[in-house]
Amino acid sequence: MKFRSEFDIKKLQQSITHQHKLMLVGSCFTENIGDKLRKQKFNVYENPNGILFNPVSVSEAIINVVENKEYTKEDLFNYNEGWHSWQHHSRFSGINADEALSKINDTNKEANAFLKQADYILITLGSAWIYTLTENALNATKGTVAANNHKAPADWFDKRLLRVDQAILVLATMLDKLGAFNPNIKIIFTISPVRHLREGAINNNRSKAVLIQTVHDLLEKLDKLYYFPAYELVIDDLRDYRFFAEDLVHPNYYATQYVWEKFIDACMNDDTKKLMQEIAEINTAFNHKPFNAVSNQHKNFLETYYKKVKLLQEHNTHLDFSNELEYFKN
């Protein structure tokens, strides 16, 4: 008897290697994958506007990076003893406007330079529900889509579900600008398996349906796009609350690890996988807590891994093992 509906995943045409630059934009699921990529020494730039969920905010963030937008105080609003941007996550907020603008503009400038040279961009969409600003909102044009509510009053927002044609339009506009800015970039789309139950179970499914239809309509039109089925792996393959955290919303460690392994299999070649295994062994040794730090056994352990890391660094000069070398040397 079968208890899971496993399915084949189309391979990425050009595999990701450690020589490539990857930008990741989108939901909190993006940050889970980004964290794993960083630990494996991939060159990653993640969420220059912070965590984003809807196609409008994701598209605006990428376009503003492409255009290297310079934000000013007029782009911010002061609320609850802080300065915030309607296009950014609250981690870019500041106690004064200068602090917020410094974080926003420095990051946007860095992201612009990185994206110009990036080989891949991984875009994870989380929800097709958008919250547009009303006339009650501070320092905003009515109808502007808020990327983050910054815990503002409910009457500052109107909620609506994007139609498929609207989502296609905003994403296609962004893809055109992105392609003109970096003609060599390859685009990977995913749909986040995180369930947006604050919208209700039915509305969550309506939202995911819009995103799935949108992305696949774009895939049919643009050959350079690739779809990785993170959503389907959790919802249709694993399909069990055992693979969700206690909130029954976020995939837990086991689900995220399963999706990560499937991502490696679909998007990495054998040489990259082998290098990742070596890096994983180094990471385990680096995080090892010795029982007796002055014992001969631990000194031999450090010496052994110092030699391993040094050899790995010599064969992979594009990677940075300076922290590991320093640790094992001392």
Over its length of 330 residues, how does the chain's per-residue pLDDT go in tens digits? 677 788 999 999 999 999 999 999 999 888 889 999 999 999 999 999 999 999 999 999 999 999 999 999 999 999 999 999 999 999 999 999 999 999 999 999 999 999 999 999 999 999 999 999 999 998 878 889 999 999 999 999 999 999 999 999 999 999 999 999 999 999 999 999 999 988 899 999 999 999 999 999 999 999 889 999 999 999 999 999 999 999 989 999 999 999 999 999 999 999 999 999 999 999 999 998 888 888 999 999 999 999 999 999 999 999 999 999 999 997
Are 255 and 300 within one domain?
no
Question: How confident is the model over 86-117, as pLDDT tens digits?
Answer: 999 999 999 999 999 999 999 999 999 999 99
| Residues 197, 199: Cα–Cα separation, whole Å | 5
Are 260 and 275 within one domain?
no
Are 126 and 89 within one domain?
yes
Are 225 and 303 within one domain?
no
Question: How confident is the model over 272-284, as pLDDT tens digits?
Answer: 999 999 999 999 9
Going by C-alpha positions, the residue among 145, 126, 123 that lies closest to residue 134 is 145
Taking 3-state DSSP, the helix, strand and coil percentages for the chain, each rounded to the nearest 5, stand at: 50, 15, 35
Residue 9 maps to a domain: no
Domain assignment of residue 280, given as a range: 269-330
Confidence (pTM):
0.93
Are 258 and 276 within one domain?
no
